[in-house]
Amino acid sequence: MKKLTITLLAIVVATGLINAQQKTPVEKSYLEARTVLDAGIKAMGGFAELQKISDVTRELSGDRSDEGQGMEPVWPRTGEPPALAHARLKSVRDIRGNRSYDEVEAQIFGGQPIRFRSVVAGPNAFGASDMAKNIRVLPPPAVTGARAARFRRDPETLLLSATNRPEALRWVGEGEFGGHKQRVISFADVDGTEVALYFDAATNLLTKTEYLNDDPVLGDVVTETVYTDWRPVEKLVLPFRYTDRVGGSVVQDLRVSSVKLNTHPADTLFAMPDYAKIEPAPPGPTVKKLGDDVYALLGPYNSMFVVFKDYVLVLEAGASNRYSAASIAEIKKAVPDKPIKYLVATHFHFDHLSGVRSYIAEGTTIVTTPAAKSVIERAATAAHAMRPDALARNPKAPVIETIDDQRVFDDGVHKVELHRLANPHAGQIIVAYLPKEKILFEADMLDIPEAGNPVAGDDTIDLAKQIEKLGLQVETIIPVHGKIGTISDLTGAVSQRISKN
């Protein structure tokens, strides 16, 4: 009997060893990742305490430092970019209601004040500018991604999201960050974003998150949020400093001044304001004829094109390379028999160069400021292995021409004047003026929301002075951001700004 018992025990042990040995790499990866995640949750206070949170309200403030904005490019990098805005933020996560509220108040570069809030609640998501009285509603397909991005911002909801998706948990490996050993895991969030989580090997606290992104200017790049200054909050431990980095460069550094748990925010916080609702912009550029051979391409980023006798001139290529590829397709529909010979890039700010690669692939000559030249060259050579575009599939060097003060395109029938300005928004920025049509095309110095109520800054006042100095007889204004306006929109915004000062 004793011999039989020993034999059976040996069989059981052997079977357990075989089962352990038979675990697949995916199973092993999950189990290792789950161990790391559970330790991270315990370090924050434990799963039970996290589950007790119904909502979290944070007050934050800090600096926004972005190499893609400012007066001049900061490339090649000589350190961190300068602070461009001092922001105050409020963040509310209603975990039980699956709702989020974010509010930001700042003054962007150029002097324009902003007060903006974004909300995701139920099947809806919207952004509202209380100063411009403008609401933009996200299309239904974008709501899931917007909600997921908000809830993976903060560790307490991020780690719960990872716990709720165990099938997507994976062990990445050991690493190092800030001189400390890290244990790195990843999971795929509900919107498909693959997020890597770095945990300090000594404390088990979350050090940072990162994910890969296809940036239109920088190419394949890592986006990070770093968490530091962990402090007790009731029975939890939470970070009091958030540092966001793109490609290793700081774009936002925020410190938490207040954290409140379970305050049960009112439903009105997540309600849409009473002022006019603006439906989502068309997903692609829409052509609008402004005059003989003069067209606007209206959408999330507005641009223009003018048909000369032998070629097409385009003003601005923002939004993204995919969007500008759609713009090129629309131009070719309207003008199938002429090449797109020139693209005018108004200034170096990254969002305004986000579609330039599509035009480089087209063989278009880029006309821009001396300051923007190096940024465009950098964008042209950036690697796009994740989502190859036309230029990645068929690389070519950009052809760039810069202007000093003025350049005129004139074929005897059509005329476009380019004027390079020094403005509080950017040290070098181009406006385009069509004297026959009395149209001014400008970027960032005057945004005209769909609901009206343009908000002016020092850059807006300077634009008005430059128009007067140059003697431009402007009637219509095409802003890159917002709807088509008139000179009265500019004068009204300037008057309002001056009266407030």
pLDDT in tens, 185-214: 999 999 999 999 999 999 999 999 999 999
Other C-beta atoms closer than 10 Å to the C-beta of 127 total 16
Please name which of 458, 498, 454, 488 lies closest in space to residue 129, comparing C-alpha atoms: 454
Q: Tell me how far apart the alpha carbons of residues 410 and 297 are, in angstroms, rounded to a whole number.
A: 21
Q: Name all domains of the chain by residue range, CATH numbers in brackets.
A: 25-277 (2.50.20.10), 281-500 (3.60.15.10)
Strand partners, 58: 91, 259
Write out the E strands in 178-307: 180-188, 194-200, 206-215, 219-233, 236-246, 249-261, 277-278, 286-291, 294-298, 303-307
* pLDDT at residue 129 in the model: 85
* pLDDT at residue 65 in the model: 82
* β pairing state of 124-129 and 219-233: unpaired
* pLDDT at residue 337 in the model: 95
Token pair for 436: 């026959």
Taking 70 as the pLDDT cut, the residues of the chain under it are: 1-21, 75-82, 109, 276-283, 451, 501
* pLDDT at residue 187 in the model: 97
DSSP letter assigned to residue 83: P
Cis peptide bond upstream of 76, omega within 30: yes
Please list the helix, strand and coil fractions of the chain in percent, rounded to the nearest 5, in that order: 30, 40, 35
Residues 6+ apart with CB under 8 A from 290: 296, 304, 437, 439, 476, 478
Burial of 498 (0-12, 13-18, 19+ CB in 10 A): exposed
Burial of 16 (0-12, 13-18, 19+ CB in 10 A): exposed
For 248-284, the pLDDT digits (tens) are 888 899 999 999 999 999 999 999 888 766 666 566 8
Question: Which residue is associated with the tokens 């000062």?
Answer: 501
Angle, in degrees to the nearest 10, between helices 25-44 and 155-163: 150
Note the residue count of the chain: 501
